[in-house]
A and B are shown apart, each in its own frame.
Chain A
């Protein structure tokens, strides 16, 4: 019988390095550091944006200047110096590609390293992808196939140029420019991101996917995603992220807006694997993200996230359940190791009648990390028969990490039914013993338990991502997942 114990696992976790920490030397066009109105204008100019967009950005920038960085999250970090970041960095090759073949081979090699060879993806998975390196969208696949169905899937800068009416109508409606400090910053300087529009009654035939990578040193990534599902449509959207290992902290402040019109359904899955910093807690990405979705009548938005990376995460994918009978879901696994800190959760704002929401959050903390769940369930006075179920489980590995739960529940309607439960535990010796007894060695047993612990969430991921998420859990908690 192997003597593999939790201590060994902890040891392994300590020494395990970030696998995606390579840096690809791609020549890029990078703005000098610093931020002022001229930089905002320059970004807008670079993106060949119309006047209204420039104004929109400036408005956000002016608001941002007056705002202060929020302090309430349960994370401690050195505040980024916003004047020491370059707000625009684009791979220098030709910005437009019609097919994969034209892509810079070095970039393709990058993707191969990421395990997301575009070719392979194209053939096997049938996933349409939009790849954003540093700040610019470099490749969008399957555009033609999607086009036949009337689905628009492109970079947001292209959308601003080619579909201004849609962008103008929806951009900033659910995450206003002045929503919070990082959303305002993003609104001012976002350089690219994905845009997706699913027309009425269309069921998107394949998974849409965006891959984000911060490549250049000293840059911040500010992408903006806008997904609009028109009446009765369906889309499943995937998002993944990586960054090279660097000693300094990089900033990632994204905004994602989802709009599900009547009877539409959006499934948004994220596998976040930004560089988490070295085992000593040096470097790593600051991940300050605002994600929010709006549900109209009978619509459904489902957020699934697997968070394994970033030095500091600050992320609350939320649903505004405006329409009657709308449904919001949030499934999350957050794994923190070494010195990582995560403060993540969700907000479910019930406004319409018979709205339902489900929150399943699983936190796994190891090393010296801190993992917090912070959530809000709000039932407005008009939300008759609203229903919420929340479950937050934490698994602690080692006695130097912490797990925290901060649920806020605000109910103003008597017909609401709310349940919230949270547990914190470690892998019990009796559980391991039970497995050992039946001939399963300790390593496999731990794998089994961690896997079982996160199953509820992993099951919600689309097939292609579930495999990758499994792999990521493996990297983050090496030796524990079989």
Chain B
């Protein structure tokens, strides 16, 4: 039985555990039908031209983990942003771990999707926001069908969240192969601000496939600052679908750091429904082996006077493959739009490859839109300069690559994340430099 059939049939089992009379369930049933007709995307689809899911889908994933697993905090401490105080929402094999988490209902809601879906007091929020901005493509629909658990964050009007929120997903490897489908909903009301850090980590080499969907709603003047760290081990694959619905004058930033995993696909979609909105999406990708990272971004400029910035840097070694597929759509009404997109790549090995497709679709005339894309190598003369001053080859190379990706790091607003990423980069490049000289 292939994975698609298995998922469709396990939906019936899933229905036994949930309230089938809730309005959310109608959405779920609709979604599983969509998935059933469309199936998993193939390379024949334009959006998946360069990314094949075949190797990922061949495992026999268990869709519902059989038992609850627990892990000791000391074993996983290193995956946390442990040097600062944070709210934490921790999932182990898809199940919420209360003893590791720190949630709150004090002024803000940092809690679970499962309770938001089931408790009447959240009914209105769920009705207004759940599955509204998420598209109906097959993978998102699949997640929608099985949506039951994830993070639920609601920041009310004029509230500044006092500390960052961490969303961490661990897989223990107790199952031979595991498929996870977390579903997150983040609603930031007017004038609010929140910082979120998300990470997926598997603790053993057993294959894990995560198909995650996050919906973010930023109301007027709200700021959402989102960091995704992808540094999983080589059998873990991640398909991340993030949808952002922005209202006027809001600002949403998404930073994606992809350093690991077997296959990583980031679908990042921004919809600007208001004036003077700013959207920022940045990413650093440093991979090797046979890893594959695919960034698929969309910014939809619907109203006038908005801005979007995209900056993606990639360094590809060994037989790694990188894909960048960025799309900017500017509607007829969206005059005075400023949209920038840049994608720079370095190939370190002859077996590595990069496919990039930066697209512009523009229907308004008074706009400034540009995209740039480069593929090249490290500058020989810069290398020579450093080596002639006594910096060893490896370090010189690392310094150049760090400088190459530094643009992206400069807009990171949480210093601890910056330090953490810097360390990972140093580690990745095999050097022991602090970089923050």
Chain A contact residues, CB within 8 Å of chain B = 72, 381, 394, 396-426
Contacts and interface: CB of A to CB of B under 8 A. Distances in A.
A408 B357 contact: yes
Q: Is the interface of A mostly helix, strand, loop or mixed?
A: strand
Counting chain A CB atoms within 10 Å of each CB, the highest count among B360, B369, B372 belongs to B360
Interface stretch (B212-220, B282-290, B374-382, B420-428): B374-382
Contacts of B347: 411, 413-414, 416
B360 A405 contact: yes
B332 A400 contact: yes
A400 B366 CA distance: 11
B365 A398 contact: yes
Contacts of A405: 358-361, 371
B89 interface: no
A421 B361 contact: no
Counting chain A CB atoms within 10 Å of each CB, the highest count among B347, B351, B364, B365 belongs to B365
Nearest to A410: B355
Given A72-B46, A414-B347, A416-B347, A404 B365 contact: no
Given A418-B374, A424-B369, A425-B367, 10 more contacts: A396-B362, A396-B367, A405-B360, A411-B345, A416-B376, A418-B375, A419-B374, A420-B373, A422-B358, A425-B369
A386 to B, nearest CB: 10
A408 B355 contact: yes
Given A401-B365, A409-B355, A413-B350, A421 B375 contact: no
Interface in B366-405: 366-377
A224 B360 CA distance: 34
A409 B375 contact: yes
A426 B355 CA distance: 30
A72 B365 CA distance: 25
Nearest to B350: A414
A423 B370 contact: yes
B365 A426 contact: yes
B362 A418 contact: no
A394 B349 CA distance: 35
A275 B195 CA distance: 57
B333 to A, nearest CB: 9
Nearest to A414: B347
A17 to B, nearest CB: 24
Interface string B316-346: 0000000000000000100100000000010
B365 A409 contact: no
A410 B359 contact: no
B377 A402 contact: no
Contacts of A396: 362, 364-365, 367
Nearest to A386: B375
Interface string B28-53: 00000000000000000010001000
Contacts of B363: 399, 401-402
A68 to B, nearest CB: 13
B354 interface: yes
Counting chain A CB atoms within 10 Å of each CB, the highest count among B351, B357, B362, B368 belongs to B362
Interface string B50-68: 1000000000000000000
B381 to A, nearest CB: 14
B417 interface: no
Nearest to B356: A409
B365 A421 contact: no
B349 A414 contact: yes
Interface of B: 46, 50, 332, 335, 345, 347-377
A429 to B, nearest CB: 9
The 7 closest A-B pairs by CB, nearest first: A396-B365, A414-B347, A418-B375, A412-B353, A405-B360, A420-B373, A426-B365
Contacts of A420: 358, 371-374
Contacts of A404: 359-362
B328 to A, nearest CB: 9
Contacts of B46: 72
5 contacts: A399-B363, A406-B357, A411-B353, A424-B369, A426-B366
A414 B359 contact: no
A409 B373 contact: yes
A364 to B, nearest CB: 12
Contacts of B351: 381
Contact of A417 (B354, B358, B377): B377
B301 to A, nearest CB: 12
B373 A423 contact: no
B367 A411 contact: no
A399 B362 contact: no
A399 B358 contact: no
A11 B228 CA distance: 51
A418 B348 CA distance: 15
A18 B46 CA distance: 37
B370 A421 contact: yes
Given A72-B46, A406-B357, A411 B368 contact: no
B366 A399 contact: yes
A394 B369 CA distance: 10
A243 B356 CA distance: 39
Contacts of B366: 399, 426
A410 to B, nearest CB: 5
A405 B328 CA distance: 10
Contact of A411 (B349, B354, B371, B372): B354
B84 to A, nearest CB: 39
A412 B373 CA distance: 16
A402 B369 contact: no
A381 B359 CA distance: 25
Contact of A414 (B356, B369, B377): B377
B360 A421 contact: no
Contact of A407 (B357, B370, B376): B357
Nearest to B353: A412
B374 A422 contact: no
Nearest to A374: B359
Contacts of A419: 372-374
Nearest to B354: A411
A414 B352 contact: yes
